[in-house]
Amino acid sequence: MSAPLPADPARWTLCEARDALRRGETSSVALVTALLEAVGRRNRDLGCYLSVDRDDALAQARAADDRRARGGSAPLLGVPVSVKDILNTRGQPCTCGSRILESYRAPYDATAIARLRGAGAVIFGRCNMDEFAMGSSTENSAFGPARNPWDPARVPGGSSGGSAAAVAADLALAALGTDTGGSVRQPASFCGCVGLKPTYGRISRYGLVAYASSLDQIGPVTKRVRDAAALLGVLAGRDPMDSTSVDVAVPDYEAALAGGDGGLRGMRLGLPREYFIDGMDPGVEAAVRAAVGRCRDLGAEIVDVSLPHTKYAVATYYVIATAEASANLARFDGVRYGLRVAGDDPIDQYGRTRAAGFGAEVPRRIILGTYVLSSGYYDAYYLQAQKVRTLIRRDFEQAFARCDAIVSPVAPTAAYRLGENVDDPLKMYLGDIFTVPLNLAGICGISVPCGFTPERMPVGLQIVGPAFREEAVLRAAHAYEQASDWTAQRPDARAGGALP
């Protein structure tokens, strides 16, 4: 017998809500109403959502309930899912955390949104984020930071910090984020949630506002591993609108969890010696090492592996990501989307619009990206970075010859205080050391809660798999989760102020 569900449906997991709906024990309207109440109580303090369209959410919920009443069914019928404010959702804002898109309304649905709708889900609020997904703390949002529900003086991580804070604080059942260099896994780790970065090409990027197109992937942020499996099953698959989406069969990810806490038995887990670095928070290292020990107790064989090019990953990432961003963000020129500041001529208008519309981090990266692509520097920086990217991918290929998955920390620290790193971009970038290698290699990984620091901030264990081996990563994470109770622990719901 499983434990009874909490009285407040906002506290349920995605799969608990889905199953309660199927059993007729609740309605989509009840779920959406509970979330709206939670948002009303706490969003002003936590900054999880940039907008919530109450009428639209309730209308979707009523339609889902009507459909079920008429005998209809669908995998996520009536289940509310929140979305990072970077995925185009027809008729809704899509600010990307930027003033430049403050007035923009999306004219179409991203494929991920269309697939959620196709599965019957209710598309709920728009989650806060670092401007154009550039950042690791959500402090780069033009609309104010999101805060960590475990300690509101601390950051929730980023760039999908609003998604993770909403899930952790029970202001969402589950949320979509995007991960270009760790932006799903790191905020999940900081907030005590599960965050899955699928293989590059596993989920269509059509309708996702591009940051770095060769690195970007959409991924779920959830309360449990099972929820991530359920969402991936809906989102994954080839899409003719994104030529980089890959035609690989989509397995039944939830069925892959059937082994429960036996899922790690016989699995070879690689422990990369380069991933326990000087300067790492001892509380994080202790939690991760204890989690690896737990995996061994559960029947995994721990093998030593080496990823020798890890030390170049952050530099390589910040060359490639900024180069691609400098091209992708050229479209925000005051002509086609959002903000327009008039100028004396078109060039003057572009300059004025971009100066008024972008915060500090975006131009920093555009300038860096333009520099590494300019003639004279292209070979020294961009081309060199592409070569090192290949070496990083080979590191993983060689390691996966010796193991089924790799285990590591998600980040060298737990959540830090707001303001602590804002004036030191380099320090902020170095926090991405364990997450960016996966994006450079195009492979998949998950962050699953594995304990707390002595300050009681959550710590995540990263489980990394080869391309298109999400089942293995989910099975391992689920087994660990079943044998520990970290994901069941919630930040206490200190009552916040009401929305104005």
Nearer to ligand GLN, 182 or 451 (CB): 182
In the set 60, 141, 183, 484, which binds ligand GLN (CB under 6 A)?
183
For residue 188, which of 142, 138, 236 has the smallest C-alpha distance? 138
Restricting to residues 235-274, name those near ligand GLN by CB under 6 A: none
CB–CB of 412/434 below 8 Å?
A: yes
For residue 290, which of 447, 457, 409, 188 has the smallest C-alpha distance? 409
Only one of the segments 25-33, 164-172, 173-181, 486-494 lies at the binding site for ligand GLN (rule: CB under 6 A); that segment is 173-181
In the set 181, 442, 466, 491, which binds ligand GLN (CB under 6 A)?
181
Q: Give me the least distance between CB of 360 and ligand GLN, in Å please.
A: 13
Integer Cα distance of 120 and 63 in angstroms: 10
Residues binding ligand GLN: what is the number (CB under 6 A)?
Answer: 13
The bridge status of strand 174-179 relative to strand 80-84 is parallel
329's tokens = 């963000």
Q: Per rule CB under 6 A, is residue 133 in the interface with ligand GLN? A: yes
Integer Cα distance of 195 and 457 in angstroms: 16
Integer Cα distance of 168 and 156 in angstroms: 10
Catalytic residue among 27, 82, 183, 204: 183
Q: Give me the least distance between CB of 235 and ligand GLN, in Å please.
A: 17
Residue indicated by tokens 């760039």: 159
Nearer to ligand GLN, 20 or 133 (CB): 133
Q: Which residues contact 383 (CB under 8 A, 6 or more apart)?
A: none
Nearer to ligand GLN, 39 or 133 (CB): 133
Binding mask of the shown chain, residues 268 to 307, with x at each position contacting ligand GLN by CB under 6 A: ----------------------------------------
β-strand partners of 81:
123
- Cα-to-chain-centroid distance, residue 487: 17
Nearer to ligand GLN, 27 or 180 (CB): 180
Binding mask of the shown chain, residues 431 to 470, with x at each position contacting ligand GLN by CB under 6 A: -x--------------------------------------
Handedness of CA 434, 271, 293, 2 (dihedral sign): positive
Q: Per rule CB under 6 A, is residue 321 in the interface with ligand GLN? A: yes
Q: Give me the least distance between CB of 421 and ligand GLN, in Å please.
A: 11
Only one of the segments 6-14, 19-27, 99-107, 177-185 lies at the binding site for ligand GLN (rule: CB under 6 A); that segment is 177-185
- Written as one letter, the residue type at 100 is I
Integer Cα distance of 59 and 80 in angstroms: 12
Nearer to ligand GLN, 195 or 465 (CB): 195
Nearer to ligand GLN, 9 or 182 (CB): 182
Q: Give me the least distance between CB of 178 and ligand GLN, in Å please.
A: 6
Restricting to residues 136-155, name those near ligand GLN by CB under 6 A: 136
Tell me if residue 197 is catalytic. Answer: no
In the set 26, 111, 159, 199, which binds ligand GLN (CB under 6 A)?
159
Nearer to ligand GLN, 222 or 353 (CB): 222
CA angle 129, 392, 133 (to 5 degrees): 10
Q: Per rule CB under 6 A, is residue 180 in the interface with ligand GLN? A: yes
Q: What phi and psi, each to the nearest 5 degrees, are found at residue 12?
A: -75, 160
**What does the DSSP 8-state code read for residue 5?**
P
β-strand partners of 445:
197, 464
Q: What phi and psi, each to the nearest 5 degrees, are found at residue 168?
A: -65, -35
Q: Per rule CB under 6 A, is residue 111 in the interface with ligand GLN? A: no
Residue indicated by tokens 């009401």: 498
Restricting to residues 204-233, name those near ligand GLN by CB under 6 A: 211
DSSP states of 427-478: HHHHTTTTTHHHHHHT-EEEEEEEEE-TT--EEEEEEEE-TT-HHHHHHHHH
Q: Give me the least distance between CB of 477 and ligand GLN, in Å please.
A: 19
β-strand partners of 464:
406, 445
In the set 29, 106, 114, 134, which binds ligand GLN (CB under 6 A)?
134
DSSP states of 374-413: STTTIIIIIIHHHHHHHHHHHHHHHHHTT-SEEEEESSSS
Nearer to ligand GLN, 267 or 385 (CB): 385
In the set 182, 207, 219, 409, which binds ligand GLN (CB under 6 A)?
182
Nearer to ligand GLN, 267 or 314 (CB): 314
Q: Per rule CB under 6 A, is residue 189 in the interface with ligand GLN? A: no
Q: Which residues are catalytic?
A: 84, 159, 183
Residues lying near ligand GLN in the complex (CB under 6 A) are found at 133-136, 159, 179-183, 211, 321, 432
